[in-house]
Structure 1
């Protein structure tokens, strides 16, 4: 039991540092906050296993030196103690961090078998199925997990976000907008502003008018920028600008769902314009920019209601970017969407 607890703590540290290390040089406060979170996770593991001696200095289990080593040791401990749901949850997260999505899905499935009424775990299991799907879609089993999570926790924000995403993937745009609209009153102003853009895009695809803009203005974002994007407009396209045009700059998963992990909507004014993107620009707390090693950056001047490409829009070629504080990229809008 002692070995299991120490491995779990070490693996939590390994996963956390793997995510936060790229931010250390430019965002030490954020990293230190993450380490504080690790302390909370340690206490939670103590509660699950219930072995105070495992947290004391005399515990002698060998500490792993890499994330891969920690995963291997945790696998061995779970083979001996297969009925620890938190261990399977942590193993699933670790597999996902290593992009071993098939194994992550199986680990979360086992965790759900052991803890079937944990709404957060059900959503994590559905997300694992999304990442393991070749088309990056939520299949019927993932939807069943989300439905069960919502039955347990009707206001679960991540579950509702994923349900709306699935509806968008199925072409049920009006239903997606209806699913997401109640979330506007539950999230912070910055998140609500980005979510409103997603809702209006869904409404536009459904042939509906945009929501009335009654939301409070977003507050200044305290989270650090992870990427800086400079957007310019090719001189040959300047005469195609029109009143009411909107500039969208967003980051999305490489090879993942089309929904952005960070996005900003700006008036078309002067070029070039420099846009910082960070975790505060994520539409929903399902996936943050800092959780991804790479993203695709997109810039588009929309003639319609949302960032989805439409005929006549002006756009730049997408650029793959490494997510690391201080990294800067340049996009030039130089083509018309056919």
Structure 2
């Protein structure tokens, strides 16, 4: 039985990866290519597994016991669940498969069974809520779907998908102010592209709610104002080359040393005030706005290199949450 599950699992795994990678295409105007690409990836995963999923595939004739199509795989999965109906993961897999085939009512029923068996699995709850809305003729999130989403958010507060769908459900109910607040809480965790798309939805929700336009400024990408100076006693005895540089660095607390924002300045510019934002991120996939908390410090580099060298002097590290009001003072050579 397990062999018949694996190609279908591979198909759904590929589809899940596609869902993550292609999520920016989910806007209503681009929904058709989004769905087509995700389903295509799922079918490709199914086919790839069928060819290379077992080491013997290259030397043996195809196993005729494996399903030839995704629909056949669904039929085998249904037979397996009839024998072992307490498998929540099996019902969730069946729901994903039925969605890929466009069987929305069947997908909804399968997910409902999965939630019944695993009521505290955030991913299952979110997928089940979305399947329930898709199966509804008006594509609305009813009270049950919204309850599942809120429970998923309680179990996994950092889950972006649950928050996004809760905002949609609230807008469908005319609760535009609550939807805007829900989406705004997601912004610090989103990549710039996704955050930009969400801000457009927030603007619409705020307008519908009659909120003042000035409040929209809170949805701007986080930036961090920093002042940098030398401790007087340290400056009095400082002897460094004329081309020494000062780096202002923000990085993830407890994470890799690669900064999420950095600026380089001449020592002669001190004291100075700078503003770090996404434009200062050396890696587009890890911008400053993607992190709710950073640690920031300044480095005096005699060599002019950002990587720490012998003789470099760092200011004490300051840990801040974003957005942060007011400049963060950094003093090089201070206590």
Change in Cα spacing, 1:206 to 1:6, as seen in structure 2 (3 Å) is: closer
- The higher relative CO (CA closer than 8 Å, separation ≥ 6) is in 1
**How many Å apart are 1:207 and its aligned residue?**
1.2
Corresponding residue to 2:113 among 87, 110, 114 = 110
CA contact (8 A) 1:138 1:166 kept: yes
CA contact (8 A) 1:4 1:77 kept: no
1:73-92 equivalences in 2 (<5 Å): 73-92=76-95
1:96 corresponding residue in structure 2: 99
1:25 corresponding residue in structure 2: none
Corresponding residue to 2:177 among 174, 177, 183 = 174
**How many Å apart are 1:5 and its aligned residue?**
3.5
**How many Å apart are 1:215 and its aligned residue?**
1.9
Corresponding residue to 1:214 among 214, 220, 236 = 220
Whichever of the two has the greater Rg, that structure is: 2
1:184 corresponding residue in structure 2: 187
**How many Å apart are 1:7 and its aligned residue?**
5.1
Q: What's the TM-score, normalizing by structure 2?
A: 0.50
Structure 1 residues 172-181 or 82-91, which shifts more?
82-91
CA contact (8 A) 2:9 2:93 kept: no
Could you tell me which runs of 5 or more consecutive residues in structure 2 were left unpaired when the two chains were aligned: 22-36, 224-284, 286-335
1:12 corresponding residue in structure 2: 12
CA contact (8 A) 2:167 2:178 kept: yes
CA contact (8 A) 2:10 2:45 kept: no
Classify the secondary structure of the residue corresponding to 1:73: helix
**How many Å apart are 1:176 and its aligned residue?**
0.7
**How many Å apart are 1:88 and its aligned residue?**
1.2
Change in Cα spacing, 1:57 to 1:107, as seen in structure 2 (3 Å) is: farther
Q: How many residues align?
A: 194
CA contact (8 A) 1:10 1:64 kept: no
Could you tell me which runs of 5 or more consecutive residues in structure 1 were left unpaired when the two chains were aligned: 21-29, 43-53, 218-279, 281-338
Return the alpha-carbon distance in structure 2 between the equivalents of residues 188 and 14 of structure 1: 22
Change in Cα spacing, 1:176 to 1:130, as seen in structure 2 (3 Å) is: same
CA contact (8 A) 1:6 1:63 kept: no
- Over aligned residues, Cα RMSD in angstroms? 3.6
1:114-133 equivalences in 2 (<5 Å): 114-133=117-136
Q: Does 1:72 align with 2:78?
A: no
**How many Å apart are 1:17 and its aligned residue?**
11
Q: How far does the alpha carbon of each residue in 1:2-35 deviate from its partner, in whole angstroms, 9 at most, with x for none?
A: 3444354465379689999xxxxxxxxx99xx68
